[in-house]
Structure 1
């Protein structure tokens, strides 16, 4: 059993069935009688820097990091039953966005300790920059990304994959899980919200919803709306590039980029 060495190392008791994702193996456990999650990153995972980010967040806006060793992580388990995806699709999309914005505020708050060394956004956008003209909108997404990255504002430690399924209910309130760990402009950290909830076209492709979302997170985070929409447009192109790399149909990301482009306005 791949978890056995860590069950022994950290004196854990299995508390559920193993879970496998594209990036990791997970096992619900008990640590000193409290619910926790043991996570082992796969060799192909891009979440390694997220371990450092999780430690730096210190439980403010994210699950607490209990222990880490190489590519193994023991963290607080969020055991609440509420779902932001369900909230959004059942009619309270704005409520879900406000919750995620409040979590982002906690994640982005200054800390007393120096931030860890993390990959930057230029590296994160590499797939988009290398995609070329697979679709006419992608070069324009890449141009927007380059423009934003050339003159960054309010740079800090970012979650890097903040969306409805990565913000969970817990006894401490809403907390983020699975950070990628990125250094860059704070506006990027809400870009993925425009593509979520995943596969819910009626929300993702609604320009009125996109503007409401932009206004909500702009007001909550104190970030200019054009930069939020600019990063949303650029990230939609990046998402499409990732889909193309993985042999997945990029339709929704492409259509989202085309919808977002006329909303961006003048980026300062």
Structure 2
């Protein structure tokens, strides 16, 4: 009940603060509530109210979204406390065309979004999470938590991650959770939403793509698709192809560790990992 009243209080304050005339609840996630709002019956906008327990991580993401200033990402109009007043995007996610078989087009769109997000900008936001810290769960996981037949996949992926961290790279602000269903269609093109707010190797930005989209395991685990995705991303962004594939394997293993921690199955990651590691070896 307390949480619900937190949302109601924040919503009524936001309606007054930004002169909003109408609000419609759209979604509740473990981290936030989302409303579609109107200003004087003219324009739709989004109101995201962050739950108190998610305030720290979500706050990093919001600061990063503000820093992007709408270039490759949803525009933040204003914030107050844990309430974000932002652009409304309702054109569907990039996951839809990719699940319908347009994977190359989807990967090209992602490369365009990444190029926009990684443009040099002054005054990077404070307090972003170092990528090395993000990976701590991978290094802390007991190999015995993995299925017996997949322990070599874990060991190899963790080894690749350590190797990548040992090899210096550029350090840039990262969205940190960039996958097809976090990229939405708009009249301004494809735009990223929900960044995590990390700091690290720019080539990591593409890692999440290789185990996505949701309900797209068949595409993500196909060796031909893995190779084509790596080719497109490397060519269009200028990032080293082997590094892209290394981060993809390392991230798939990290994602599996998170799911193991939460007692969730890791079928999707296990379908992708052997082929990601093979592609990495061949690169």
**Normalised by the size of structure 2, how large is the TM-score?**
0.88
Measured in 1, the distance between the counterparts of 2:135 and 2:248 equals 13
Q: State yes or no: 1:39 paired with 2:48.
A: yes
Q: State yes or no: 1:225 paired with 2:241.
A: yes
Measured in 2, the distance between the counterparts of 1:29 and 1:38 equals 7
- Which residue matches 2:281? 265
- Which residue matches 2:3? none
* Paired residues of 2:131 and 2:200 also in contact (CA < 8 A): yes
* Paired residues of 1:23 and 1:44 also in contact (CA < 8 A): yes
Measured in 2, the distance between the counterparts of 1:214 and 1:61 equals 21
Helix, strand or coil: the match of 2:53?
coil
Q: State yes or no: 1:182 paired with 2:182.
A: no
- Which residue matches 1:242? 258
- Which residue matches 2:103? 93
Q: Which ranges in structure 2 are unaligned for 5 or more consecutive residues? A: 1-7
Give the total of aligned pairs. Answer: 266
Q: State yes or no: 1:25 paired with 2:41.
A: no
- Which residue matches 1:118? 128
- Which residue matches 1:16? 24
**Normalised by the size of structure 1, how large is the TM-score?**
0.93
Instruction: Tell me the CA shift for residue 266 of structure 1.
Output: 7.6
- Which residue matches 2:12? 4
Give the number of the structure whose residues are more often helix, by fraction: 2
Measured in 1, the distance between the counterparts of 2:268 and 2:205 equals 20
Helix, strand or coil: the match of 1:113?
coil
- Which residue matches 1:67? 78
Measured in 1, the distance between the counterparts of 2:251 and 2:117 equals 20
> What do the CA deviations read for 1:73-129 (whole angstroms, capped 9, x no partner)?
11111133x542221121211101111110110000011334433011011112111
Q: State yes or no: 1:102 paired with 2:112.
A: yes
Q: What is the alpha-carbon root mean square deviation over aligned residues?
A: 1.7
- Which residue matches 2:4? none
Structure 1 149/70 Cα, relative in aligned 2: closer, same or farther at 3 Å? farther
Worse-matched range after superposition: 146-155 or 241-250: 146-155
